Structure 1
């Protein structure tokens, strides 16, 4: 039996915990129906000494749980993930001990922030919610973040992307511990596409705006206002009272990407909205998002989004 601990962190996302429990409980029921022992012994774990009840499972404190094989960290419900991690700092030395004892650790969505804060992900590959990737990479530069990946595994450490990517990591864990037949059976029951390995097309460009650098804010405004027309950095910043080198340096420092990358992401986001919300011909979409070369547009779009513009429209257009 696989002794499996599910962390009830402060500010855990209820849906994340519920999905984990639902899948593992369903696997256990299937085994019981076949006259087999349950493969997973599930225990909920909190950092508080007091115990609470969650569904039919008793919650124990980290000091009362031993001999785990697998630890699962659900996503956070808070938009301020940094603060949420701080509230759960007690788990960090405990996670170190578990990993040292050979326990596998899997994180779901923004739960990766807690594992990264422990340092255990340093030098290892990981993913998280696609819209949290920028904040993650800024906070944990030593982690080899793979923003486009739905699931990653590096030794005994696992991470998943956002929201429904939870199910893909659960299937991955089931295939490892219970075999492919069970993983396929769960995929059918929960209607999960097993072949989804990319989450890039779920991303939304959300640039940092709450900062105190007026020069960078001015450059952002010029890019967002003129993205259809400008082609070079010089055009974008010609009226800003600063040198090109200084603007690029400050922009990268504050925003995390260069002005040209910012322009590209602004254009791609505009193209995605046109593909979702309009019936414009592809040539119109290309032109209205600031591109003149269809071949270049398609190449950049596919690299950024993970699929072609036509595939994106088929998947997300509001009809």
Structure 2
């Protein structure tokens, strides 16, 4: 039987940390029971492990007592890191011990899965450097600033690379659990858990949930002014050559500074502003696809559809039908 370690951090936690811990324990326990009911051996021995005998959450409102200390686990096969506070800056307290333990276990063959902002702890090990990582779109900028060598993929619901798994935000960690159960158990067990817990199986994207929030904590005043100009004039025809001249910066240097500051090229930034405005129109009005398209500055329906799908993972019509019942 393999060993599964669900970590219980002793600091930098949130209410979502509890949800991840309890959810993971519930899913894998149920998967084991399903196997036994079908005359097969359970796949995992599931243990909650930490560095203290009691971890408190939400100012003592809830407490979890880990079943064991990480120091007593010599060999584990899968480690699950729950979500943490989105204001993470650097690991503190017993979380430093957890980070060192994760790194050592990974070197010994363990796989590691982080849920949402648990990616901060996983990234702190250095294991994500040069690798893909999903996280809640609202935490992406903080993760990027703290760990610039990590390839952030907010459009992905789940990443799976070299025995490292990450997933997006909110309760999408349930989809990661189904993904892991299918990988370690089988498809039949994953479908069973999907039906028991009523979680949609095979979700692959979180793009349609993302709200574009411009990154402006970079300190480049020229880029900030350019961002403001794009946000105020996104429906107009914009020449990036003219925009760079407006701020007396060469085009190549302007593009380089813009990407460094925001993580997007000027064109990508403009597209995201346009599509965010289109999304709001689809959510709150009865305007047609063409009306919204013209309103945000597109003249070609094919181009509008392609950009919208690239950013949200859905067509404009599908998005409107999903988020605006009145329009439907």
- 1:220 is displaced (CA, Å) by 1.4
- 1:208 is displaced (CA, Å) by 1.5
- 1:311 is displaced (CA, Å) by 0.9
**2:116 equivalent to 1:115:** no
**2:50 equivalent to 1:46:** yes
Task: For 1:241 and 1:30, locate their aligned partners in 2 and report how far apart those are by CA, in whole Å.
Answer: 66
Counterpart pick for 1:62 among 70, 92, 107: 70
Scaled by the length of structure 2, the TM-score of the pair is 0.85
CA contact (8 A) 1:115 1:121 kept: yes
Instruction: Identify the range of structure 1 (32-41 vs 166-175) with the bigger mean alpha-carbon deviation.
Output: 32-41
Report the equivalent of 1:240: 247
Report the equivalent of 1:11: 12
Task: For 1:186 and 1:5, locate their aligned partners in 2 and report how far apart those are by CA, in whole Å.
Answer: 20
Report the equivalent of 2:28: 24
CA RMSD of aligned residues (A): 2.6
CA contact (8 A) 2:116 2:169 kept: yes
Q: 1:190 to 1:75 in 2, by over 3 A?
A: same
Report the equivalent of 2:2: 2
Secondary structure of 1:45's aligned partner: strand
- 1:318 is displaced (CA, Å) by 5.4
* 1:279-290 paired onto structure 2 within 5 Å: 279-290=286-297
**2:168 equivalent to 1:177:** no
Task: For 1:124 and 1:218, locate their aligned partners in 2 and report how far apart those are by CA, in whole Å.
Answer: 32
CA contact (8 A) 1:208 1:255 kept: yes
Task: For 1:36 and 1:200, locate their aligned partners in 2 and report how far apart those are by CA, in whole Å.
Answer: 38
Scaled by the length of structure 1, the TM-score of the pair is 0.88
CA contact (8 A) 1:109 1:161 kept: yes
- 1:275 is displaced (CA, Å) by 1.0
- 1:58 is displaced (CA, Å) by 3.4
**2:316 equivalent to 1:316:** no
Task: For 1:211 and 1:125, locate their aligned partners in 2 and report how far apart those are by CA, in whole Å.
Answer: 23
CA-to-partner distance for each residue in 1:73-115, whole Å, 9 max, x for gaps? Answer: 0111x231334x4553332221121012211211111212221
CA contact (8 A) 1:52 1:59 kept: no
Q: 1:247 to 1:152 in 2, by over 3 A?
A: closer
- 1:35 is displaced (CA, Å) by 6.7
- 1:56 is displaced (CA, Å) by 8.1
Counterpart pick for 2:231 among 197, 212, 224: 224
Structure 2: segments with no counterpart, 5+ residues:
57-61
* 1:167-316 paired onto structure 2 within 5 Å: 167-236=174-243, 239-316=246-323
Q: 1:86 to 1:285 in 2, by over 3 A?
A: farther
Instruction: Identify the range of structure 1 (247-256 vs 196-205) with the bigger mean alpha-carbon deviation.
Output: 247-256
